[in-house]
Amino acid sequence: MYRRWINWLIILFAVGLFTGCGYNTMQRNDEAVFKAWGDLESQLQRRADLIPNLVEVVKGYAAHEKETLQAVIEARAKATSIQLSPESLSDPDAIAKFQAAQGALSSSLARLMVVVERYPDLKANQNFRDLQHQLEGTENRISVARQRYNAAVEKFNFSIRRFPNSITNNIMLNLERKEYFKADEAAQTVPEVKF
């Protein structure tokens, strides 16, 4: 009789241990990070796909602004050449290189928009306005995707550090903490407004 109670207690303890160990939660959170990263990459790809169309429209109106247009083309090429695999989301250097390339592209697009301000006919062109609206919408989507990615990273990082999940992670999974998508260093500087 005593042995039977001990067996039942061991079974209950084992069931409680495995249902509360967080194994499935950590796996789900890990996948959520990968999904959020995929969504972010999708929006970045959408931006990269729109840029050649935007450059071609601007070229027609601002042929002598080749330097700015070339900078946009080169920044797009560099941004699309740096790819991150899901495994490299834990590598701070890889994330930093990716973010630097995306920041350079954003910067060159901002310079392109300044060039556009000099050409009122271009701003009135329906094709350009459509592309500009799509690009603005894409930038907003990228911002939302970055926030969602960071929220997924926060949830995942907490889940692998929380007790008893941390024990399960150390024994069974060995998942590494993921890196956040951080602001570009240039974003730390307050922009100057000149009239």
**Does the pLDDT value for residue 188 go beyond 60?**
no
Give the model's pLDDT for residue 195.
Answer: 36
Euclidean distance between CA atoms 118 and 63, whole angstroms: 13
Query: Which pTM was predicted?
Result: 0.63
Is residue 136 classed exposed, middle or buried when 0-12, 13-18 and 19+ CB atoms within 10 A define those classes?
exposed
pLDDT digits (tens, 9 = 90+) for 93-145: 888 888 888 888 888 888 777 777 666 665 556 766 777 788 888 888 888 99
Euclidean distance between CA atoms 74 and 104, whole angstroms: 10
pLDDT digits (tens, 9 = 90+) for 64-94: 566 777 778 788 888 888 887 877 888 888 8
Give the model's pLDDT for residue 140.
Answer: 86
For the CA atoms of the chain, what is the radius of gyration?
24
Contact 146, 40 (CB under 8 A): yes
Contact 68, 115 (CB under 8 A): yes
Give the model's pLDDT for residue 87.
Answer: 79
Euclidean distance between CA atoms 113 and 37, whole angstroms: 28
Angle at 190 between CA 188 and CA 193, to 5 degrees: 155
